[in-house]
Amino acid sequence: MDAAWPCAYTDWAMSETPVRNLIIIGSGPAGLTAAIYAARANLKPLCIEGFSAGGLIPGGQLMFTTDVENYPGFPEKVTGQELMQRFRDQAEHQGTEFVTADVTKVDLSQRPFKVWTDEAMFLAKAVIVATGARANYLGLPSEEGLKNKGVSACAVCDGALFRNQDVAVVGGGDTAMEEASYLAGLCKSVTLIHRRDEFRASKAMVQRVVENPKIKILYSHVVEEVLGAAEDHVTGIVVKSLKTGEKNTVPLAAMFVAIGHTPMTDLFVGQLETHPNGYLKTTPGSSRTSVEGVFAAGDVQDWTYRQAVTAAGTGCMAALDAERWLGAQGAH
Ligand code: NDP
């Protein structure tokens, strides 16, 4: 912390609020990996880890998954919660300071940057945004109670739990095609349900799906209900044809919802540049955003890979980029 760092806000420069080297917003794999690297570089980072699932999710999306079997280094499966606790312990052990609160506002227009929670305002020379993304769900009441009990938004994470069973994928974009193809390699059958009679996904990916004998496509259908509340796991779904209104029950063990993700960028609207799909823009090959001194890592800037390990990788990039940038400013 360095209260003497050039401060545009004279009143604050003279106030008690210290100017920190680095604030990390978010505590999923990206934010916590950034924290580990930044702390080891002696930046004494502050990680604002989020308080409620309504705002930032402490620990990120992994807190809502069950077993993680694809994070390297854990040959015996590990739960999402345990994995994130280990990340957090390591970040804390290396010297990261944590604040458990939702960030309510940021001002990235001048340096030092300002970050508010309900209780306090923090100043920082550099900021890493690692706020993640939220999977979109259908919004059915029956779906909510069966999340992680057969309702999933990630085939790569949960598909193996349903080996040799019947499953469904909902959606018509590239993710739905990818998930359907992936699941067809593991499961007995995949019913792909799309609300229109034409897919949004790229031709090549549609082709793979259409040609796969294990995938059955229900065009112009919507899911009306997820069954299995009494059994406490998914046992089937009720689908409705939008053309005829006919309803049918499809028995299956899991429903994978692939109807897009929403990046958590509300705090940064009008301050950081985004792609047309809402994800934060970073300079290719780096974590630099459109504002100098602000870096982005993890799912808030990645709609393609979206894995814990890739989020962790970009968290490392952001910490290294921030450290180098601070060094070049003579600020650290
Ligand atoms: P998209 O937004 O591309 O597709 C979402 C799909 O879900 C659409 O087909 C949409 O239907 C459907 N949908 C949305 N809301 C509902 C709802 N409430 N009920 C039923 N269906 C719904 O999201 P994706 O995650 O598929 O892709 C996001 C981005 O990532 C895209 O740019 C995609 O190209 C890219 N991507 C690329 C990959 C690759 O190249 N390997 C892999 C995965 C993603 P409708 O079509 O009617 O709007």
Task: Give me the domains of the chain, ranges plus CATH numbers.
Answer: 5-134+261-328 (3.50.50.60), 137-257 (3.50.50.60)
Nearest C-alpha to atom 29 of ligand 1 is from which residue? 303
**Other C-beta atoms lying within 10 Å of the C-beta of residue 10:** 8
As a dihedral over the C-alpha atoms of residue 7, residue 12, residue 13, residue 14, rounded to 10 degrees, the angle is 160
pLDDT at 124: 98
Q: How far apart are CA 19 and CA 12, in angstroms?
A: 9
CB 234, CB 150: distance < 8 Å: yes
**CB-based pocket (< 6 A), ligand 1:** 138, 170-176, 178, 195-196, 200, 258-260, 277, 303-304
| Ligand 1 center–CA 142 separation, angstroms | 22
Ligand 1 pocket test: which of 134, 137, 154, 174 has the largest number of ligand atoms within 8 Å of its C-beta? 174
pLDDT at 56: 60
Q: How far apart are CA 113 and CA 267, in angstroms?
A: 13
How would DSSP label each residue in 49-115?
Answer: --S-TTSS-TTGGGGG-SEE--STT-SS-EEHHHHHHHHHHHHHHTT-EEE-S-EEEEE-SSSSEEE
pLDDT at 6: 46
Nearest C-alpha to atom 43 of ligand 1 is from which residue? 175
In tens digits, the chain (332 residues) has pLDDT values of 444 454 444 444 445 789 999 999 999 999 999 999 999 999 999 999 987 544 566 777 777 666 788 899 999 989 888 999 999 999 999 999 999 999 999 999 999 999 999 999 999 999 999 999 988 999 999 999 999 999 999 898 899 999 999 999 999 999 899 999 999 999 999 999 999 999 999 999 999 999 999 999 999 999 999 999 999 999 999 999 999 999 999 999 999 999 999 999 999 999 999 999 999 999 999 999 999 999 999 999 999 998 899 999 999 999 999 999 999 998 77
| Ligand 1 center–CA 107 separation, angstroms | 32
Largest CA distance in the chain: 70
Nearest C-alpha to atom 46 of ligand 1 is from which residue? 200
Q: Which residues are catalytic?
A: 154, 157-158
Per-residue b or e along 301-316, where b marks 16 or more CB atoms closer than 10 Å to that residue's CB: bbbeebbbebbbbbbb
* Nearest ligand 1 atom to alpha carbon 171: 7
| Ligand 1 center–CA 1 separation, angstroms | 44
